[in-house]
Amino acid sequence: MVINLLLMIVLIWFVIHNFIKAKKFVSFNNWHDYFVPIYSIVLFLVTMKWDTTNVTIFLILLPVALVTGYLETKGVELKKENSKKKDKIVEEIKIKRGSPYAFGWLFTFALGILIHCWFSRDMILNMFTEAIWDNIIEEINPLALFTTNHTWYIWFLSGVSSLTFIMTIRIAITRMIRKKRTKEEI
């Protein structure tokens, strides 16, 4: 449980960090921007239990995550800016994510929590049996986190919506660069 909590804290820190920066132009940073989707998808893959119920939920959540990621890009602004790096002027892409991005993250976490509450209702009612036992096992054996299916949908929603956002922005950046090159050639 402690490791699961720490992993969630890391993800929440990134969300808060991005929520604060949603209104500012910042450099589009590959490491930072790809960390959350990769981190989330890896944790989704290790926590997902591929049974009929989870696969059904997965198939329902896939379009929700894709649409959420796409809608997060609706308030994005991109601009090119010259900056000095190591005695050279470098053109860099700046991104302002905007409110839809922040609200997309809020929606992702709210939906993940609602799904968790829905599926945990039996554990909540039977708190002194399976839920307590799972927590004890996770406390004793930190690797037990990777055998539980309690949080896969949060990781899945976060990873897929983030990856969709990043890929959509990458396409927009590529178009922006091509458009500039075309104008320069004319």
- 153 pLDDT tier (thresholds 50, 70, 90): confident
Give 78's strand partners. 95
Instruction: State the Cα–Cα distance between residues 107 and 85, nearest whole angstrom.
Output: 38
- 12 pLDDT tier (thresholds 50, 70, 90): confident
What residues contact residue 73 under an 8 Å CB cut-off, 6+ apart? Answer: 100, 101, 165, 168, 169, 172
Q: Taking the CA atoms of 163, 142, 7 and 122 in sequence, report the sign of the dihedral they define.
A: positive
Phi/psi of residue 78, nearest 5 degrees: -115, 145
Q: What counts of helices (H) and strands (E) characterise the chain?
A: 6, 3
Q: What's the rounded mean pLDDT across residues 82-109?
A: 83
Phi/psi of residue 22, nearest 5 degrees: -60, -25
Q: Is the pLDDT of residue 51 over 50?
A: yes
Give 96's strand partners. 77
Instruction: State the Cα–Cα distance between residues 149 and 34, nearest whole angstrom.
Output: 24
Q: Are 112 and 158 in contact (CB under 8 A)?
A: yes
Q: Is the pLDDT of residue 41 over 70?
A: yes
Q: Is the pLDDT of residue 134 over 90?
A: no
pLDDT tens digits along 63-89: 999 999 999 999 899 988 887 777 788
The pLDDT, as a whole number, for residue 145 is 44
> How far, rounded to the nearest angstrom, does the alpha carbon of residue 108 sit from its chain's CA centroid?
8
Q: Is the pLDDT of residue 44 over 80?
A: yes
Domain ranges of the chain: 2-180
